[in-house]
Amino acid sequence: MSRFQRRRRRILIATGLSTVVLLAVVSIWAGQAGLLTLDSAGTMGASSRLGVGTVDAGWRGAVLAGEREGTLDLAFAMDFEVFNPVTEDRPARFELFFSRDREFSREEDCRLSDASIVIPGAGRTTVSLQETAHLVDCLDAGPWHAAAYDVSSDSWIEVPEPFNVRSGEARLAVAGVPAEVGFGQSINLDLQVWRASGSFGTEGLWDHPVDVWLRNGDTLCLAEVAPLTMPRDAVSRAAGMAVAEQVPMSIDPRKAQSVESLGSYPDPFAETSPHRIRRDEVSLGGRCRVTEGEWQVVAGPSERSLRTVETVYVHAVPLQIDDSPMVITVTEGEAGYAERRVRNPGNRDIRWSSRASDGFGGDWMVGMDNQRIRGGRTADVRFTVSARGLEPGRYNGEYVFAANDYYQTQVSIPVELVVLPSRNRADDVPGSEFTVSNYPNPFSGRTTIQLEIGREGAFRLAVFDVQGREVRLLLDEWLPQGRREVTFDAESLPAGTYLYRLSGEGVATTGTMSLIR
């Protein structure tokens, strides 16, 4: 017979009521008020119906929840009257079961006790089924549905309302917290659970509250953690807290809630923190703002001798930059650059620099120092080259991009410089010469730029940063042939590498200088 068929044959008894409904079939009274009659096959019979009276069920000695909640040291009892409508005595056997899902089955559910009786002819008898909870190994914390099984009629006498075995006590702590996790990743840790134990063994836990708190500076967050359910251990132990058990747990900081106010409670990280902070008394805001840095982790409810505070470093994922080869084409004597886009995924500003790779670069590769990418921003990084003093042709080198993020990222990027000949090269004009230089170099504050003008004409002298932006126009005028000196005052500019470019009359020449502080 299937579980569905057995379920159809249940007798639903409404505790304290004088009427009982057997599925959808009309009840037939057997001359005694409050008795439902069943025949030996568990169906309505015309001559030999067994009647069932009012059911009384509950925890004996319980004072909470109307005897519907008890502990392992209490006994559960189910009493009900049965009536034999025929004159012959009738033997009967009843078994008491608890079921989690109310789908009662003798093979799958928890059996508490049984009783065999003889019902006198035309008489009534009270059936009493009772057992102390801790003597039933399959009985554990949480809600249960109770029913008595009538073996002779293959019928269930069910109590509609559930009963509860009270959850045991526990103290919690965290362990096995990783030293670091990536930004947006879950924190996998071990939850240490100390449970109350005694002569009845270790009590089970049912939906036991778990609080996991995260703190970074002034930011306090409460993690989203499912209540803890653990099976009972029936092995007898000395009274107290049992040895800690490890329960693996995963916490997603992005799903934690920001704590706006703890009300009257102290900081959960303080030694004076109570065993349990009630969530309904804490003011919670939106999602926790998880930032890069060290986060403290603590679990509760706990107590001073057991609690632990662990630390995990939350860091952003590495910077990503395209490391495919770059090709930069410039005219001889000029400067150029190529750009690569870089995103800083963390919330902290990152400093970066670029330089020619050791043994695989040249003076034509202009390095950059102490550049910044703001947290959460994307920036275009420029790699600058200068063809000053280079003959037309191809030059190969390699840039090293280095950042001071958590990973100390370093990326090597091959670069090819293509130098094209100038249309009006200065050495094509007889007797002409155009050169630029500066001293001192490196310099701090001021430097003097020396110009050698091969022929008179309109010339422009400007200073550029390595991003290619013009930062100062030093002159834009007619210059006679000969030597000229120009003072460059860089007091208001940040330290770094700068280019200065003299152009005009179809020629251009560039110099490089370093400003230090």
- Number of C-beta neighbours around residue 269 at 10 A: 14
Last residue of a domain, one of 387, 420, 453: 420
Q: Is 149 exposed, middle or buried (0-12, 13-18, 19+ CB in 10 A)?
A: buried
Do residue 79 and residue 202 come from a single domain? no
Convert the pLDDT of each residue in 72-101 to its tens digit.
888 999 999 999 989 999 999 999 999 999
Residues 8 and 153 placed together within one structural domain of the fold: yes
Rounded CA separation 465/483 (Å): 25
Distance between CA 159 and CA 57 in Å, rounded? 8
Q: For residue 398, is it within any domain?
A: yes
Alpha helix stretches (DSSP H) within 144-268: none
Top-confidence range, 166-170, 239-243, 344-348, 504-508 = 166-170
140 and 118 together in one domain: yes
CB 328 within 8 A of CB 340: no
CB 340 within 8 A of CB 322: yes
- What is the average pLDDT across 385-410? 88
Bond from prior residue into 442 cis (ω within 30 degrees of 0): yes
β-bridge mates for residue 208, sequence order? 228
- 454 close to 481: Cβ distance less than 8 angstroms: yes
At 158, is the secondary structure helix, strand, or coil? strand
CA atoms of 145 and 159, how far apart (whole Å): 7
pLDDT band at 201 (very low <50, low <70, confident <90, very high): confident
* CA gap 472, 135 in Å, rounded: 91
Answer yes or no: do 12 and 144 share one domain.
Answer: yes
The answer to whether residues 28 and 153 belong to one domain is yes
- Residue 391 in any domain: the answer is yes
Residue 321 lies in a domain: no
Residues 153 and 194 in one domain: no
Say which CATH number the domain at 489 has. Answer: 2.60.40.1930
Q: List 233's β-bridge partners, or say none.
A: 202
pLDDT at 4: 36
Which pTM does this prediction carry? Answer: 0.60
Tell me if 210 sits within 8 A of 172, measured CB to CB: yes
Say if strands 393-403 and 410-420 run parallel, antiparallel, or are unpaired.
antiparallel
Residue (of 167, 111, 161) closest to 137 by Cα position: 111
- CATH code: domain of residue 334: 2.60.40.10
* 430 & 391 share domain: no
Report the mean per-residue pLDDT for the chain.
81
Structural domain harbouring 481: 426-515
Residues 223 and 289 in one domain: yes
447-484: per-residue pLDDT in tens? 999 998 888 889 999 998 877 788 999 999 999 988 89
Six-digit token string for 327: 């090709």
Report how far apart, in Å, the C-alpha atoms of 67 and of each of 64, 140, 174, 253, 353 are.
6, 17, 36, 41, 74
Domain closes at, from 360, 390, 420: 420
Q: Return d(Cα 418, Cα 463) in angstroms, integer.
A: 23
| Nearest in space to 483 (alpha carbons), one of 510, 502, 463, 507 | 502
Residues 66 and 94 in one domain: yes
State the DSSP code for 264.
T
Where does a domain end: 389, 420, 451? 420
Domain contains 320: no
